[in-house]
Amino acid sequence: MLLTGGAGFIGAHFASRLVERGYRVDLVDDFSRGANDAALVALEASGNVHVLERDLRMQGALDDVDDDYDYIVHLAAIVGVANVVEKPYDVLRENVFVTERALSQAHRQSALRRFLFASTSEVYSGTLENFGLTVPTPETTPLALPGLDRPRTTYMLSKLYGEAMCQHAGVPFTIVRPHNVYGPRMGLAHVVPELLQRAHNATDGRLEVFSVDHRRTFCYVEDAVEMMIRSLESPRCEGQTLNVGTQAPEVTMAELAALIVKVVGKDLEIVPRAATQGSPKRRCPDMTRAGELTGWESRVGLEDGVRLTYEAYRTEVFEAAAAARE
């Protein structure tokens, strides 16, 4: 199996689960965002994962890799609000480039069984803005575009373009749209680890929370990866576009913050702050189709998932950072 973006948050969990299933994986990453950390070293030491440090933005980056992969999983992309705001043109152009190169690799394969493309829940944002959105949101929702002059549009547009490329590339494909996937090793640019960090470090008895009335559902990474692998392997999922996420419970950011305070074990007052610009008030996937086709629904509850995430971050990030400062 070829796995692009494999050193990233979902990629490393994906590779680990593949090894457990007996797959051999060529893991491709340029390490501009993904980490060559202990988790990746352990995967490579298993003997079933071969790490290839390649930049898919460069022509010919994959010319020397095999042509007999059963599966190609394409997770590589420029992501993150900071990137979108600071270099929107690069996000749009380069995400399309790397998808084209992954699909070109798919065309080279002698007997490819499936190409899995990781899109995004952001593809629903234009419909929400212009017409309103059914919540929970099914994959059959007609898609509209938000303003093309907005930097934030470039990321969703690059993923929507990627979906269209998959539809017309002439390879067997499955498209997945992840919704609020969280867990260990995802960096700090996400609401769950961000709030965990601020709660862990709080010294004044307060925790500021933005968009307190906005509602989300959250999917623990191991559940998301299981859905994605099942969608990759299942003949019924070929040619399908599937949400990946959790349909319930839908919680406000204030409720999430209260849970995080409980998990961290501090007595903190939640201080409401303004809504984050561009953030939708609700985001929740309809998981009916994905559940029927993959036979899987989220099993890790939100409190258990947040606790597992905190345990990993506390030792590997927060306490390590504190020790480095001493």
When pLDDT is cut at 50, 70 and 90, the band that residue 34 belongs to is low
* Structure token pair of residue 103: 């699909």
Count up the domains in the chain and report the number.
1
Assigned domain for 191 exists: no
Q: Which residue has the higher pLDDT, 33 or 226?
A: 226
Does the residue 208 lie in any domain? no
- Mean pLDDT value across residues 74-95: 92
Q: What phi, psi does 113 have (nearest 5°)?
A: -90, -30
Is the residue at 93 inside a domain? yes
**Confidence band of 321 (pLDDT split at 50, 70, 90):** confident
Domain annotation covers residue 115: yes
The pLDDT score that the predictor gives to residue 103 is: 97
For residue range 161-212, list pLDDT tens digits in order.
Answer: 999 999 999 999 999 999 999 999 999 989 999 999 999 999 999 999 999 9
**Would 217 be classed as within a structural domain?**
no
Angle between helices 253-264 and 302-313 (to 10 degrees): 50
- Residue 128 half-sphere exposure toward CB, CA atoms < 13 A: 16
Domain that holds residue 80: 2-178
Dihedral (Cα; 40, 46, 47, 49), 10-degree rounding: -30
Q: Which of 92, 91, 114 is nearest to 102 (CA)?
A: 114
Mean pLDDT for the chain overall: 94
What CATH number is attached to the domain comprising 144? 3.40.50.720
298, part of any domain: no
Distance in angstroms (rounded) separating the CA atoms of residues 264 and 174: 38
Q: In this structure, is residue 85 part of a structural domain? A: yes
Domain assignment of residue 154, yes or no: yes
Residue 92 vs residues 49, 176, 187: alpha-carbon distances, Å: 30, 19, 22
pTM, two decimal places? 0.95
